[in-house]
């Protein structure tokens, strides 16, 4: 397992994405799939950066765990406020744009781009696990 821990700030986003992209390439994933991994990861990390630590600075840790032939499990950990992204209802994609509730499309993308995704709370730690 390889891990990267950084302050939860936008200035570290590219480094975090590059870390995971490198692991995905090492697993033999194609460029199209790596772009999908990056998109799902970016959606997850931006939410953590913007919302997990509303009153203080915090960190985010990314763990890359081999998970079978050609598969990669990414665990994103933070000690921010508890938030199960999968508790949000799916967006109504048939509604007109002006009638849709704000938010939710990133979570929809994460669900579409991963083989499996889950959230759990371990003590004071949020753990978002994404399987690609």
pLDDT 10s digit of each residue in the chain, 132 long?
899 999 999 999 999 999 999 999 999 999 999 999 999 999 999 999 999 999 899 999 999 998 887 789 999 999 999 988 878 666 555 556 566 555 557 788 999 999 999 999 999 999 999 999
Say how far apart CA 7 and CA 81 lie, in whole Å: 15
In SS3 terms, 23-62 reads as HHHHCCCCHHHHHHHHHHHHHHHHHHHHHCCCCCCCEEEE
Q: Which residues pair with 65 in a beta bridge?
A: 73
Domains and CATH numbers, the chain: 2-131 (3.30.565.10)
pLDDT of residue 101: 56
- DSSP assignment of 56-88, as one string? S--EEEEEEEE-STT-EEEEEEE-SS---GGGS
pLDDT of residue 99: 62
pLDDT of residue 94: 55
φ, ψ for residue 95, nearest 5 deg = -75, 150
3-state secondary structure of 5: strand
Q: Who's near 58: CB < 8 A, 6+ residues apart?
A: 7, 8, 52, 78, 79, 80
pLDDT of residue 53: 97
Say how far apart CA 41 and CA 35 lie, in whole Å: 10
Does the pTM surpass 0.95? The reply is no
End-to-end CA gap in the chain: 15
């Amino acid at each position: 397992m390889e891990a990267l821990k950084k302050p939860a700030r936008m200035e570290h986003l590219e480094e975090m994405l590059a870390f995971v992209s490198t692991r995905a390439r090492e697993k033999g994933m194609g460029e199209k799939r790596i772009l999908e991994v990056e998109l799902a990861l970016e959606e997850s990390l931006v939410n953590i950066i913007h919302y997990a630590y509303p009153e203080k600075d915090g960190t985010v840790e990314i763990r890359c765990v081999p998970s079978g032939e050609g598969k990669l499990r990414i665990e994103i950990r933070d000690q921010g406020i508890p938030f199960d992204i999968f508790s949000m209802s799916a967006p109504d994609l048939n509604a007109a744009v002006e009638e849709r509730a704000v938010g939710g499309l990133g979570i929809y993308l994460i669900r579409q781009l991963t083989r499996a995704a889950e959230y759990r709370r371990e003590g004071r730690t949020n753990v978002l696990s994404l399987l690609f």
